[in-house]
Structures are given as C-alpha cells and as structure tokens.
C-alpha cells in the first residue's frame, strides 16, 4: 500500500527560504536556480518525460552565462539554497518506493529532485570560485602558466 507524501520540516524550511529570499536575487541568480530546478523536475518528477542530454547541456550553458553576472549577495543566497536543498534531500529516504509524491513518482524521485537541484547550482558556484581564483593568480614566470 502506498502512502501520500507529507512534507518534512526540512522541506518546509527549504520552501520558506526560497519564498523569503527570492526577491533578493538578481535575474542572473534566478536563472541559475530555475534552470537547475527545471532539469531536476523534468528528470525526476515527471514520469512521462525522458529528459535528453541536449536539454541538460542547454541548461548548463544558460546557467554558466547567467553565472557570469552573479553578485556576491547572489552567491551567498544560492549557497544557502544549495545547503537547504541538501538538507531537504537528506530528510527523504533515497530508497522510498512506497510513498507517493505525484503521479507515478515516489519519495526516491523527490530525494533525487532535491539532490540534482543542489548539485547543479553547487557546480556552477564552484566553477565561479575556480575562475575567480585563476584570474587572481599572479604568475611569476610566463613558463608557469599551465598551457
């Protein structure tokens, strides 16, 4: 017998954080988050849809272009979203095939929805950090440049 999904406290916290801070984000930060969430939703929460690799690549490209315009406030808020999504993910059993969360989707799907959203945004933030560190590196000798 399947049961209906009851939102966990961690999921409610995640939803509340999004609602309270969404207006503080720039359009670029919203684009980064919306693209990640869209890919995760299509991949895990829509049973009748098979996401194509090209769609994921297109979303990654949109996220990278938008990430170039992120402010420091955006980065901090997106990092909070990443952590909140991971906590929400951890609050759901990754092997739950009994709790119905939607048409043909279960707790396992919701777990991976949160996880994928978190991972995609995290990857964009890490990429921005690496680019900034690379740009700030002072090369003493031109032969030190690794290309």
Q: 50-76: per-residue pLDDT in tens?
A: 889 999 999 999 999 999 999 999 999
Domain ranges across the chain? 8-134
Residue 95, pLDDT score: 92
Average pLDDT, the chain: 90
Residue 146, pLDDT score: 63
In this structure, the number of other CB atoms found within 10 A of the CB of residue 76 comes to: 12
Residue 144, pLDDT score: 61
Q: Helix crossing, 107-136 with 53-67: angle to 10°?
A: 40
């Amino acid at each position: 017998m399947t049961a209906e999904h009851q939102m966990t406290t961690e999921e409610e916290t995640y939803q509340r954080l999004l609602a309270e801070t969404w207006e503080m984000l720039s359009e670029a930060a919203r684009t980064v988050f919306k693209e990640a969430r869209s890919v995760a939703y299509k991949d895990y929460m829509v049973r009748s849809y098979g996401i194509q690799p090209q769609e994921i690549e297109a979303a990654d490209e949109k996220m990278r272009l938008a990430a170039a315009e992120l402010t420091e406030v955006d980065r901090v808020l997106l990092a909070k979203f990443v952590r909140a999504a991971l906590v929400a993910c951890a609050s759901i059993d990754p092997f739950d095939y009994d709790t119905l969360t939607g048409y043909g989707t279960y707790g396992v799907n919701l777990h991976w929805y949160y996880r994928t959203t978190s991972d995609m945004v995290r990857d964009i933030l890490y990429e921005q950090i690496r680019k900034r560190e690379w740009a700030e590196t002072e090369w003493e000798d031109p032969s030190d440049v690794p290309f």
